[in-house]
Amino acid sequence: MSLLANKNILITGGSRGIGKSIVEVLVKNGANVGFTFTSSDLAANNICKELNSKDAKCIAYKSDASKFDQCEKLVNRFLDDFETIDVLINNAGITKDNLLMRMSEEDFDKVIEVNLKSVFNMTKACQRIFLKNRRGSIINMSSVVGVKGNAGQSNYAASKSGIIGFSKSIAQELGSRNIRCNVIAPGFIKTEMTDNLSESIIEGWTENIPLKRPGESSDVANLCLFLASDLSSYITGQVINVDGGLLT
């Protein structure tokens, strides 16, 4: 039997980058997956066409996780399609990097809204299902930047650090109901966005990584697979770095 057979998983921000890789790994391991996107309908629909099979279902939902009313509607649509939710993965996120002296209030607020408030929105919207079922796994995507900070990313660091504090609190609140909440903190991961970086910038990053290479999106996706499965049933409230030893 597949590792995630019969599990229904909802993930935000699943149409590209790390999110897309997570969707692919989960479906290929037997999960029924619904993921959100906010822009390209074509890209999202193509993912579903590629992954849908007799063993697992994949559905894309156009929804903005930073808006609480949209999250409630999304959860209801997901329940119509899948009947219940076993795992929630909060992956939606953006960057608007700048030094503090040049950062606008709008750019600070937007990053907090999309990266952090979306986690509150989706967790609150899904909580009632988890409580009813007396089980569930919540996986929240932070970053090594949320652990150690980074110049020029004070808004992003604040949002990702906030996710860690939020997740540890939820793990304590919901643990007695067999509901787990963990955090993944990726380091320098190769995505479409990093493909646009110069070779010198990539070399500068990798020089500080003990494994001397960037990670792959599949490295993050495989950890999601573990945390979504029953193999991790006694793990909650943890922050797991996927960074090649960067923060060692």
Residues with catalytic roles? 156
Q: How far is CA 236 from CA 40, 140, 181, 184, 228, in A?
A: 34, 12, 5, 12, 11
**CB burial of residue 168 (10 Å; 0-12, 13-18, 19+):** middle
Query: Kind and range of the H or E element at 217?
Result: helix 217-228
Whether 52 contacts 24, CB under 8 Å: no
How far is Cα 27 from Cα 187, in angstroms, rounded to an integer?
24
**Closest alpha carbon to 148 in 243, 227, 214, 222:** 243
